[in-house]
Structure 1
Amino acid sequence: MVQYRQQKAYPQPHPLLRLAIGFGAFFRGFLFVKKHKLWPYLLLPSLLSAVLGVLLLIGIYAGTDYLVLRFWDGASGIWQGIYESLVQVVALVAALFITFFTYQLLASVLVIPFLGPLLAEVELRLTGEPIATAPWQDFKNAWIGIWMGIRDLCLQLLCLVISLFLGPFQPAFMIAVTSHFLGRASFDFLLEKHTKNLPERHAQTRAYLLEMEGLGLAQFMILLVPLLGVFIAPASALVGAALVFYADTNSPEKLPCSETNG
């Protein structure tokens, strides 16, 4: 029987160490896939992720650039060049974060479900058997995931608006926000198999907040790498989340790093 982490009773390490564990789990996830030669399970979801990421970035950047130019239409003379340069920067930054937000929502529906076979193989190697769920539970989880994705997208857009008033602290704030939601999306796909209802899932989410933040930060950084990022980020993050979760709940003596050093 899986023993879940208790938010207060569980003897948790220092917060910075938990962030580091989550951050490192992303790369341990990639090395786990490499060690166990699980590449075939990445092919379809990685292609879907790459196509989704490229289309979103191109479409959102073009749309953002158009809207900002319309908003600042009318500048002339010496200010024209300054405005155009500023518009390009604002459009690129806005498009980048909006792409991350939209990618996370669509990836949870179009990419992560195709990582189910990969997660089953990872569970087989970590616990001795894959964790199966009933078809009706999968259907229920899918609808819950869509609703939570839409809610999270609205929250992230609200954070983007708030960040406009933070001046030089805007990038750090938005990176932290984006990292949180990216990391949580990877854990959600795992936790939905081990929790019976939303309150229980929320409790587990709170217990892993710092690990999610670290995992999401690593995923955010890798997603900035053109093409390669969208190919490897979803799978590496999901496997990394599994390494953290099962090291806690199933075999605490089997640390995730031992899966990559053997």
Structure 2
Amino acid sequence: MAGGKLVDAESGILAKALPYLREAAQDVRRPDALRGREFTVVDSSGYVATDREFAFSGISRKQLEDMKELRAPLGTWPEQWRAAVTELRQALKDEGITDADMRLKGTSAKFYSGDPAKRFPQTEDELRSMAAEAHRLISGSHRLPRIEDVVAAYRQAGFATDGPKPAVAFFDSRYKLGLSKWPSDYDFQLCSDTLAERFEAYWRANRTLGLYTKGDWYNPYLLDRVAPGLDRWVGRWEKTWGRWVSIATYGRPYLGRTTRPGDWVVIQ
């Protein structure tokens, strides 16, 4: 992936985005920019997101509305999202994958993480512990300044108070705090018997890499071997968005176990 900044893959994309980005910047600068909205974003503990969280993520009222209305996930805008989905459909078609059910998961689709293990730090002590773990590979003399930078970002954003806080991480929060090297990714769930059979067949013939990773989804490092066109789509949009694009592939039976009301269905 091309670092943590958005890199445009085509000429003209940035020009089209500028009005949208200007509006987002104005919304974030205005303290009352997100008040009066007709919807709320709530985490698993019942905490309702406030201007503090939205401003820290750099998310505008327009971007939140687009997310809630499924026009575009956080981190992109509707025109660019439509282009990405159009290219995704073509990539699947070119690969002969006609039974795909693809859904967008994660913070770009919901703002808050759905994983309770991805905690948001409630105190500075907890934050320091998380920062020490995140930067454990850095030598001691350089680690302490990194930890202090993390604490400073937490304080500056207004999270060092005793008031209520989100229970879980939210869009770009770990990146903005300095707990993660990368911004939030685009997390897709793809259910397809056609693609599942290709993973299985490739692994039986080669067995050079594990078939599964991170549980029961097929190893994404095999994607370029079984669906190179889809893998190229991933690479192109990682470069464009400046974010990792993760595709967790399963067979169709998995779909019945994970479908939820309000899922962001990208392709069905």
TM over 0.5: no
Q: Which has the higher strand share?
A: 2
Q: Which has the higher helix share?
A: 1
Q: TM-score, normalised by structure 1?
A: 0.33
Q: TM-score, normalised by structure 2?
A: 0.32
* Higher RCO (CA-CA < 8 Å; seq separation 6+): 1
